[in-house]
């Protein structure tokens, strides 16, 4: 008589959306979580004479902080739930079980305890990204390498009229040992602009898009004009995202410039006065296989 199988086989959770898509979205959620940790809730002076007085916060600000956390947390749970073929997958459960013990049992500083839980949630999301490469998937990942071919040291700079940030970007790439490609600096060779663009972008492995304050525009229904990047910059941005994939395109957004449409999954890096964007550039280049070091900038 055949042996009866009594043990239930474990369900292997598989991603139902692309790994690059979920990676970008999780990275966005991590950044929002980090902003939550920096959220300043005003402390109210406590006149209690107890040995360990409970920290008192402004009720309105405290309520807003916890409400914002709850929205962030619920979104993350739903994201992990629907990213897999099994809504009760192990990654969602792992996230839900990451919390500060102090926040569960109560303490004298509920805001600080909640921030500890946020950090644990962030740690779990970062761990998820680290393991993403080996997580099973039902989707077929696009083979970007077949399009861009062998990795070169050429990086295309898409720019508008802001010569300063263009030159700073080019100098930064040169310091990293890469060759910045700026279209108008390349020989024409009797070609039209679009032919010249196609020729000089054929062997590019990475692109930096400079969305600077060059134009103004608005929708018909809007009263005020907004700062926008030039139309050629938007066109070339879409070209390189389609050609290279989003992971090989860094979008640098100048202060006050309108984002070109509400495109889900697109991450913009602000051009900040403290040059934090340079570290982001190094990080993204490393992720794409470039051997670069922040020590050189």
Look at residue 202 in the predicted model and tell me its pLDDT. 84
Beta bridge partners of 209: 158, 251
The pair of three-digit structure tokens given for residue 198, joined into one six-digit string? 């196609």
- CA 64 – CA 42 distance, rounded (Å): 11
Helices (DSSP H) in the chain: which residue ranges?
A: 19-37, 59-82, 90-96, 101-105, 110-131, 145-148, 163-175, 193-200, 231-244, 276-287
Bridge partner list, 56: 44
CATH topology of domain 145-296: Rossmann fold (3.40.50)
- Domain range summary for the chain, segments of one domain joined by +: 19-134, 145-296
Q: What does the alpha-carbon distance between residue 297 and residue 287 come to, in Å, rounded to a whole number? A: 18
Distance CA 61, CA 58 (A): 5
**pLDDT at site 5:** 43
Q: pLDDT at position 149, please? A: 47
Q: Print pLDDT tens along the chain (297 aa).
A: 444 544 445 678 999 999 999 999 999 999 999 999 999 999 998 766 555 568 899 999 999 999 999 999 999 999 999 999 999 999 999 999 998 765 566 678 899 999 999 999 999 999 999 999 999 998 865 554 444 445 678 999 999 899 999 999 999 999 999 999 999 888 888 888 888 888 888 889 999 999 998 888 877 788 888 888 888 999 999 899 888 888 899 999 988 888 876 555 678 889 887 888 999 999 999 988 888 888 888
Q: How far apart are CA 132 and CA 148, in angstroms?
A: 23
Q: What is the DSSP pairing of strand 56-57 with strand 249-253?
A: unpaired
Question: pLDDT at position 151, please?
Answer: 64
Q: Residues 157, 163, 166, CA angle at the centre, nearest 5°?
A: 30
Residue 108 has what pLDDT? 80
Kindly tell me the sign of the dihedral angle through the C-alpha atoms of 71, 74, 80, 85.
negative
pLDDT of residue 214: 83
């Amino acid at each position: 008589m055949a042996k009866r199988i009594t043990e239930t086989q474990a369900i292997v959770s598989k991603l139902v959306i692309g790994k690059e898509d979920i990676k970008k979205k999780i990275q966005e959620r991590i950044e929002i979580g980090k902003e939550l940790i920096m959220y300043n809730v005003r402390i109210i002076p406590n006149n209690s004479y107890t040995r360990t007085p409970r920290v008192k916060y402004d009720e309105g600000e405290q309520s807003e902080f916890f409400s914002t956390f709850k929205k962030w947390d619920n979104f993350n749970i739903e994201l992990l739930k629907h990213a897999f073929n099994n809504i009760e997958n192990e990654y969602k459960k792992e996230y839900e079980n990451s919390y500060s013990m102090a926040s569960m049992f109560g303490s004298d500083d509920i805001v600080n305890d909640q921030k500890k839980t946020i950090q644990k949630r962030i740690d779990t999301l970062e761990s998820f990204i680290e393991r993403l490469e080996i997580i099973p998937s039902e989707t077929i990942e696009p083979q970007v390498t077949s399009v861009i071919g062998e990795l070169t040291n050429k990086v295309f700079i898409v720019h508008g009229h802001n010569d300063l940030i263009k030159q700073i970007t080019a100098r930064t790439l040169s310091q990293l040992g890469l060759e910045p490609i700026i279209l108008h600096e390349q020989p024409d060779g009797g070609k039209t602009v679009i032919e010249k663009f196609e020729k000089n972008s054929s062997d590019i492995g990475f692109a930096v898009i400079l969305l600077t304050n060059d134009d103004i525009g608005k929708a018909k229904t809007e009263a005020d004009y907004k700062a926008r990047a030039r139309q050629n910059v938007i066109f070339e941005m879409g070209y390189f995202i389609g050609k290279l994939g989003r992971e090989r395109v860094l979008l640098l957004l100048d202060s006050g410039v309108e984002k070109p449409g509400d495109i889900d999954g697109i991450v913009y890096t602000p051009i900040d006065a403290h040059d934090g964007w340079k570290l982001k550039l190094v990080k993204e280049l490393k992720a794409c296989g470039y051997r670069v070091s922040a020590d050189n900038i």
